[in-house]
Structure 1
Amino acid sequence: MSQTARFLISSLLLAVALGLGVWVYPILTTPNPGEEITAQVFLKNDCGITDDAFMLFVPSTGKRIAFANKEVKLTIKSGEPLQLVASPTYPKIRYDGATEPAARRTTLNVQCNPSDFENSINRPLRNQFGG
């Protein structure tokens, strides 16, 4: 077998192995629901409101955690709901974001566009009632 043919076969096998690795790695590293994980929760706030006005809320425990540099790290069960809420430090701001399931890396977005906010409420209703 020529050197070019060996090189092509080796390259093909390497590409297949890398492709399988990229496909299998997320499956092997995804935690099972209910498994204890260390979660990094990031705040994405493009609304022009100070980041200090928002906190992470864990509904199952009632725990509120302030963001530091737009990030919170906590130990939580995978899939447990997380919610972005207004900080009690700013009583004139009212905000209750949608819940997101906890993952190793979760980003919570501040929804400041009224149409986005309306969609966050109406979308589940449309999905439930087939609208």
Structure 2
Amino acid sequence: MFEQIIDKRYKTEIKNIEFLSDYTSQGIFNSKLDPFTKSFLSVEAGNIKSRSELENYIGKAIRLQINYTIRPKWTILNYIFVDKDSQLPEVITSKISIFKFYRYYEEAINAYLKEVTTLTVMRSSIKEIIDDTDSM
């Protein structure tokens, strides 16, 4: 079922870039892509050189958004930290910024990041913030 949803969303997004030839940040920003996809591309993509590379990133963005919709805590932790136990605060700030709904997670995490003075932030700290936010 989820694969069908992903496939349908993917086809819609690919249709939105059917005539796109400008793969720069500005070209993508001006495209008809979904706002979440645009945010994901701005954080993850860097310089896109080809249509196939853009399509690959679009697929990743769609999967991330669907996972976030279903299980936000798991998705935030795995997207930010991948397989690490800690991450730089600026990386966390950048990555959390793409999520446009369940905004309270971003707000709580950013408030915490403004208070800490460490060079890295532990996965367990972000997990605790999300858990605390959920319990409110």
TM value normalised by structure 2: 0.30
State the structure with more CA Rg. 1
TM value normalised by structure 1: 0.30
Structure showing greater relative contact order (alpha-carbon pairs closer than 8 Å, 6 or more residues apart):
1
Q: Give the structure with the higher percent helix.
A: 2
Q: Give the structure with the higher percent strand.
A: 1
